[in-house]
Amino acid sequence: MEIRRLSLDEWSDALPATGFEVFHTPEALDALDAHARGDLRLYGAFKGERPVGLAPVFVREQALGTAVMSPPPGFGVPRLGPLVMPASPKQRKREQVNGTFTEQLLDELGVGGSTTLFRMVCPTSYPDPRPFGWSELSMEPSFTYHLAVDEDPDVLLSSFSKSLRREIRDAEDAGITVEVGGRPEIREIYEQARTRYEEQDRPFTMTWPYVRDLTDALSTVDRCRPYVVRDDDGEFVSGIIALYSNDAAYFWLGGAIATLDGTTVNSYLHWQIIKDIAAGEPLESVHTYDLMGANTERLCQYKSKFGAELVTYYTVESAGTGMRAAKKAYRLMSR
């Protein structure tokens, strides 16, 4: 196995047809590279000319040492990390490829050094983080909800909770309409989200130039859609920005609690996204709606109403007291 540094074009050529997340796309990585502090490095593992592993990392040299992050913090990227694509379906071969790739990647990044801070949040398609643990990194599971959208929407609707079905039908009865917009609607969703965070005294780290550049780039390849609800006067009520990989749609930004004439609108926004997925819009290959997170009890009380599957993903990072202090310092400097 050979580890190589890749250009963005080479990365694009090496991406598999399935199994990657929207932020693995070259368009998303290019936008992150333009706004995140540090150097974007794209690594590929090859057997001959066949790619068997990929990993994007952001490397930042600073006085305290080197920070290696995937994804970079503060940009609304829930997961990034490694992709492994072994040719053999045999478990032994898959583990061998994963183990060798992990070992060589960590060696290339100098992760064993005492002044290197390492953190990776792996994609849901990466099921085996054990090689990171065997390299004395910590492993922590997290969760998201995946809703399979591969059947008639009416059948899917019947699997939702009673209260969720009622909210959707109330919106239909009220004649609420959802439109798919462009950059102006993305800006409205962004500003509403930023305002809600400020009202709750929570940090909102994404800047408008970053969100604009990311969504512009993804929109050119049908990987971004802003869904919005307006009132009778055309005023913005609420919206959701959905992002798309080849496999999944992602509830990325928006969805602030809102009502129109006393009717809750956000469940109806989700329902319109789900119906479009079922109709093959904007990508025929998408059959999953990722509700983006199942780690906060308060939010899970709502998201669990969709009857989606609970899916695990892993964070692997440097361990130890010294590294905890370094991570805290890095987060402060990143802000």
Distances (CA, A) of 21 to 24, 25, 299: 5, 7, 22
Considering only 73-77, 107-111, 159-163, 330-334, which range has the smallest mean pLDDT?
330-334
CB 39 within 8 A of CB 89: no
Q: Which of 67, 79, 109 is nearest to 19 (CA)?
A: 79
pLDDT at 334: 44
Q: Any idea what DSSP says for residue 269? A: H
pLDDT at 333: 42
Alpha-carbon gap, residue 245 to 247, rounded angstroms: 5
Pairing of strands 236-244, 248-254: antiparallel
Domains of the chain, CATH where assigned: 2-137+318-334 (3.40.630.30), 145-311 (3.40.630.30)
Tell me the residue type at 193.
A
Q: Which residues of 42-52 are buried (b: 16+ CB within 10 A; e: fewer)?
A: bbbbeeeeebb
- Residue 331 pLDDT more than 90? no
Q: What is the pLDDT of residues 213-267, one digit of tens each?
A: 999 999 999 999 999 999 999 999 999 999 999 999 999 999 988 999 899 999 9
- Residue 108 pLDDT more than 90? yes
Q: 244 pairs with which residues across the strands?
A: 249
- Give the count of alpha carbons within 13 A of 46, CB side only: 15
pLDDT at 257: 87
The percentage of residues in the chain with a pLDDT greater than 70, rounded to a whole number, is: 95
- Residue 332 pLDDT more than 50? no
Label residue 63 by pLDDT band (50, 70, 90).
Answer: confident
Residues in the chain: 335
- Residue 116 pLDDT more than 80? yes
Give the CA dihedral 300, 305, 307, 311, nearest 10 degrees. -10
Label residue 64 by pLDDT band (50, 70, 90).
Answer: confident
SS3 content of the chain, % helix, strand, coil (to 5): 40, 30, 35
Q: What is the pLDDT of residues 164-177, one digit of tens each?
A: 999 999 999 999 99
Q: What is the pLDDT of residues 77-107, one digit of tens each?
A: 999 999 999 988 899 999 999 999 999 999 9
Helix (H) or strand (E) holding 195: helix 183-199
Tell me the residue type at 99.
G
